[in-house]
Amino acid sequence: MSSNGNKIELPANIVIRDLALKIGKSPIDLIKKLMSNGVMATINQTVDFDTAAIVVGEYGLEAVLEAVEEEKKEETGEVPHWRQMIAGENSASLKPRPPVVTILGHVDHGKTSLLDAIRQTEVAAGEAGGITQHIGAYQVEKKGRLITFLDTPGHAAFTQMRARGAQGADIVVLVVAADDGVMPQTREAIAHAKAARVPMLVALNKVDKANANPDRVKQQLAELELVPDDWGGTTMVVPVSAKQKQGIDDLLEGILLVADSSEIKANPNGKVIGTVIEAELDKSKGVMATLLVQNGTLNAGDIVVAGTAYGKLRAITDYKGKPLKKAGPSTPVAVMGLSGMPSAGDLFQVVSSEKEARSIVAERTEAAKTLSQSKKKVSLEDLFANVQSGEAKELNLIVKADVQGSLDPIVSELNKLGGGEIGLHILHAETGNIGNNDVMLAAASKAIIVGFNVQADVDGRRLAEKEGVDIRLYEIIYRMTEDIEKALKGMLEPKLEEKVIGRAQVLDVFAASKFGRVAGCKVTEGELKRGARVRLYRGADMVFEGDLSSLRHEKEDVKEIRQGYECGVGFKSFNDIQIGDQLVCYVVE
C-alpha cells in the first residue's frame, strides 16, 4: 500500500480505521463524510474500493486500485488440494461447470426445509416418482443450467470437509429466519464460510410469517460485514418461504449470478479428482460412496483411490438412481466397488492400475501414522518461526469471552495489533465456553483459540488435543493482547518448566580416573537419566548444579536407572561429594 503525490493505492476492501490511518485523517471525520454520502458505517466496518474512493476524493486524493499481486497476498489462507491440482491444468482447457452449493445457518431457521423445497421444485418439474434414493447431493436445473446442492446442511459437516483438505462448496447459502434474526449459530456459519473464502448469499426465510422483520435482519447482517445489495452492499439477500415455496426461483437465479461472478471452472478432459461426500456399508451392495466429481470425467470401470480405500467402480448412478456411463465436473454420483469405507471430505482420484492404487494407499496409511505421532500444535511460540520460513503470512484467531461487554473491547484491542509483518485475522468472536465447533473451525483454518474468563468443555479439549489446536485461556485482557503482540513481533519465548524425574541418596564415594570421584547412590524416587540436569544438596544447601554426565550400574554404562536400584553417578568438574548428600534429577520442558 503506497501513495504517490495525490494518488493513493487502496485495496478492493478496507476497514474504516485503516483508511483513516492511511490518509492521516480522523476516523470520526471519515464516518461523517460517509454519512453525508448516504453510507452508514462504524469504525470497524469494511467498505469497498468505490466507496473509499469517493471519501478520499473529498480530501483531494485520487484512489487507485492496488495491484492484483497485493490482493493475492491477502489470500494466502489454505488452498484446497483439488484446487491446486486444477491449477496445473491448461487454462485454455478449463470450461465453466455447475456451481456446488451448501446451505448453512442457525438451527430451526429452515435449512432442511429449504433443501426440500428446492428438491421438490425439481421433482414437480421432472418425472413422477422423483428421487428414488438419497445420496447426499442432488442437482436442479434453472434456465438450462445445472446447480449442485450438497444435501448436508450445517457448518459442522462443511468444516469437517475443510479440515480434511477438501473444499466441496463453491457457494454458501446462509439461511436466516426473518422472524428470529441473526443467532449464535448464524454467526458461526458466517465465520466458517469466511474462513473458507467462499462467496455467500443470504436466503431470508419465513418472510410469510406475521412477525417477520426483514429490515432488522438486514441491519444485523450489515453489522457482520454482510451489507445487503439493496443497501448498497455486495451481499445478495433473497426473501424466501420454504414452507410456502415462495422465492425459490429467485434464489436459484441469485446462485447463478454469484456463480457468474466467480471462476467456477474445470477441465472435463483433465485429471479426474473430487471429494467424497458420504459413504455407507450396504449389506447387499457392499460399500456405497457418494462422490462429487470436481475435475475430469469419471467413467464406469475406472480404478479410484479415495482416502485409504480403492477399487474398480462396478456401477455409477446419479442422484435419481439412474445408471450412468460417465460423470463430468460438479456431478454427484453414487458408486460401488471400493474396498473400504472412505471418510466424508476425503479426496479421490482415478489411477491407471490397481497396483498403483495399492501403492498410494500404503503410502497414505504410513503417512497417517507418522502424522498422528508427530502432529504438532499451531502455537504462538511456533508462529514467528513459521513466518521466517515463509510458511505463515497471518495469525488466525478465534476469540471466546464470558460476556459481550468483554468481547467487544478484546476484539477492538486485537484488531489494533494487525497490519505488521504478519496479519491478524479474527475468524470468529463469540460469547460462551469453547466447544467442538470452535475447535473444528480452528483445525480447518490453522487458527489459535483465545478465551477470556471462559473454559474449554471436555469434548472440546479432547478434540483440540487430537487435532493439535492451541487453546489459550486468560483472565486479564492485557496479558492476552501482550502475548498476541509478542507473537506478531516474533518476541514470544517458549515457557520453560522444570520437571523433577527422580531423587537419590549418596551412600558411598569412590575414586575414578575419568571423573575424579563418583557418587554411589540409591534411587529413592522416580528415575535418574544420563544427560538430564541434576542438583546436589547437602542438608538445605545446594552444592552443585549441572549435567548428569555419567551413569553406571554394576560396571556397565546405562541411560537410566529406576527407583530401588543402586548406581554410580559422575559429575564433570565436581569432586566435592559426601556420603548423605541428596541428588535431585530434573528435565526442562
pLDDT of residue 126: 42
Please tell me which of 176-190, 405-419, 557-571 the model is most confident about, judged by mean pLDDT: 557-571
More confident residue, 356 or 444: 356
Domains detected in the chain: 3-74 (no CATH), 98-263 (3.40.50.300), 273-356 (2.40.30.10), 380-489 (3.40.50.10050), 498-588 (2.40.30.10)
Whether pLDDT at 348 is above 60: yes
Torsional class of 425: left (φ above 0), alpha (ψ -120 to 50), beta (otherwise): beta
- Alpha carbon distance 314, 167 (integer Å): 27
Q: Indicate the pLDDT class of residue 252, thresholds 50, 70 and 90.
A: very high
pLDDT of residue 346: 79
Query: With contact defined as beta carbons under 8 Å apart, do 107 and 185 qualify?
Result: yes
- pTM for the structure as a whole: 0.55
Q: Indicate the pLDDT class of residue 20, thresholds 50, 70 and 90.
A: confident
pLDDT of residue 239: 92
Output the nine-digit C-alpha cell for 397. 484467531
Percent of the chain whose predicted confidence (pLDDT) is above 70: 81
Strand partners, 5: none
Q: Indicate the pLDDT class of residue 383, thresholds 50, 70 and 90.
A: low
The mean pLDDT value for 217-224 works out to 88
Whether pLDDT at 216 is above 70: yes
**3-state DSSP: the chain helix, strand, coil percent, rounded to 5?**
30, 35, 35
The mean pLDDT value for 507-524 works out to 83
- Taking the CB of residue 321, how many other CB atoms lie within 10 A of it? 13
pLDDT of residue 267: 87
Query: With contact defined as beta carbons under 8 Å apart, do 529 and 548 qualify?
Result: yes
217: Cβ contacts below 8 Å, ≥ 6 apart? 176, 178, 181, 182, 204
Q: Which of 131, 92, 91 is nearest to 115 (CA)?
A: 131
pLDDT of residue 505: 93
Element (H, E) at 437: helix 436-445
pLDDT of residue 420: 57
Q: Indicate the pLDDT class of residue 194, thresholds 50, 70 and 90.
A: confident
The least confident of 26-30, 89-93, 442-446, 521-525 is 89-93
pLDDT of residue 251: 92
Q: Which of 161, 157, 155 is nearest to 174 (CA)?
A: 155
The mean pLDDT value for 363-376 works out to 60
Percent of the chain whose predicted confidence (pLDDT) is above 90: 7
pLDDT of residue 128: 37
Q: Indicate the pLDDT class of residue 413, thresholds 50, 70 and 90.
A: confident
Q: Say if residue 260 is exposed, middle or buried (CB neighbours under 10 Å; 0-12, 13-18, 19+).
A: exposed
Number of Cα atoms under 13 Å in the Cβ half of residue 200: 28
Whether pLDDT at 509 is above 70: yes
Query: With contact defined as beta carbons under 8 Å apart, do 547 and 533 qualify?
Result: yes
pLDDT of residue 256: 92
Whether pLDDT at 15 is above 70: yes
Whether pLDDT at 40 is above 80: no
Alpha helices in 126-172 (DSSP H): 155-163
Q: Give the per-residue SS3 of 194-257.
A: HHCCCCEEEEEECCCCCCCCHHHHHHHHHHCCCCEHHHCCCECEEECECCCCECHHHHHHHHHH
pLDDT in tens, 73-131: 333 334 344 455 565 667 777 888 999 888 888 777 777 788 888 877 554 444 333 33
Output the nine-digit C-alpha cell for 71. 490482493
Identify residue 497 by its one-letter amino acid code: E
Q: Say if residue 555 is exposed, middle or buried (CB neighbours under 10 Å; 0-12, 13-18, 19+).
A: exposed
The least confident of 66-75, 300-309, 472-481, 499-508 is 66-75
Please tell me which of 149-163, 384-398, 413-427 the model is most confident about, judged by mean pLDDT: 413-427
More confident residue, 513 or 76: 513
The mean pLDDT value for 488-516 works out to 76
Element (H, E) at 37: none
Task: Find the helix packing angle between 111-125 and 248-260, rounded to 10°.
Answer: 100
Cell 428421487 belongs to which residue?
Answer: 131
Cell 490511518 belongs to which residue?
Answer: 21
**What average pLDDT is seen over the chain?**
78
- Taking the CB of residue 352, how many other CB atoms lie within 10 A of it? 9
Alpha helices in 24-175 (DSSP H): 27-36, 49-57, 68-74, 81-87, 111-125, 155-163
DSSP string, 42-66: -TT-EEEHHHHHHHHHTTT-EEEEP
pLDDT of residue 22: 83
pLDDT of residue 182: 86
Q: Indicate the pLDDT class of residue 466, thresholds 50, 70 and 90.
A: confident
The least confident of 88-97, 209-218, 448-457, 552-561 is 88-97
Q: Indicate the pLDDT class of residue 67, thresholds 50, 70 and 90.
A: low
pLDDT of residue 124: 40
pLDDT of residue 550: 83
pLDDT of residue 418: 66
Whether pLDDT at 176 is above 80: yes
Output the nine-digit C-alpha cell for 546. 549441572
Query: With contact defined as beta carbons under 8 Å apart, do 518 and 570 qualify?
Result: yes
